[in-house]
């Protein structure tokens, strides 16, 4: 064999044997880098609390709002107690009685339909979205030539 052939074979062997080592080294380095990033992110988020957590759903009624509801239940003869501003068992029972007497689902919970029947709801509470009316004007049939 000539010297040139021998060097070509040696070079090919070195190239083939080095290729997996290089790619493995790169993938290992990339994996370590992403692992460090994940670790940094998770360790940072553990110690922090959200500044403004989003409130989901409805919040509990204030004591003043509960007093309003209790007063309305008194007016409707469903509750026979002084308004306290606390949602207690007597208020829940009175709410169930009122709801049952007025054809509502007697859950004992505050809902839009019950508040409307008590005179404490809004005009649109518990109703669906407005349905747009069709305009009376027909679209013009102009064509461009």
3-state SS class at 32 = helix
Residue indicated by tokens 């004007």? 137
Does residue 12 form part of some domain?
A: yes
In terms of domains, do 34 and 67 share one? no
pLDDT surpassing 80 at residue 78: yes
pLDDT surpassing 80 at residue 24: no
Does residue 143 form part of some domain?
A: no
Domain count, the chain: 2
- Summarize the confidence of residues 78-99 as an average pLDDT: 94
- The pLDDT mean for the chain works out to 77
Structural domain range at position 25 = 1-38
For helices 63-75 and 89-101, what crossing angle results, to 10°? 50
Does residue 58 form part of some domain?
A: no
CA angle in degrees (0–180, nearest 5) for 85-88-93: 120
Q: Decide: pTM greater than 0.95.
A: no
- Summarize the confidence of residues 42-47 as an average pLDDT: 54
Question: With 0-12 CB in 10 A as exposed, 13-18 as middle and 19+ as buried, what is 20?
Answer: exposed
Residue indicated by tokens 């880098």? 33
């Amino acid at each position: 064999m000539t010297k040139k052939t021998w060097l070509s074979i040696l070079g090919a062997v070195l190239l083939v044997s080095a290729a997996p080592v290089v790619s493995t080294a790169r993938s290992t380095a990339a994996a370590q880098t992403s692992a460090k990033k994940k670790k940094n992110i998770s360790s940072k988020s553990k110690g922090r609390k959200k500044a403004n957590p989003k409130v989901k759903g409805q919040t509990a009624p204030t004591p003043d709002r509960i007093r309003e509801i209790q007063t309305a239940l008194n007016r409707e003869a469903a509750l026979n107690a002084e308004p306290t501003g606390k949602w207690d068992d007597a208020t829940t029972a009175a709410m169930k009685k009122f709801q049952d007497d007025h054809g509502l689902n007697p859950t004992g919970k505050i809902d839009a339909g019950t508040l409307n029947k008590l005179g404490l709801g809004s005009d649109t509470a518990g109703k669906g979205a407005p349905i747009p009316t069709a305009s009376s004007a027909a679209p013009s049939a102009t064509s461009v030539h």
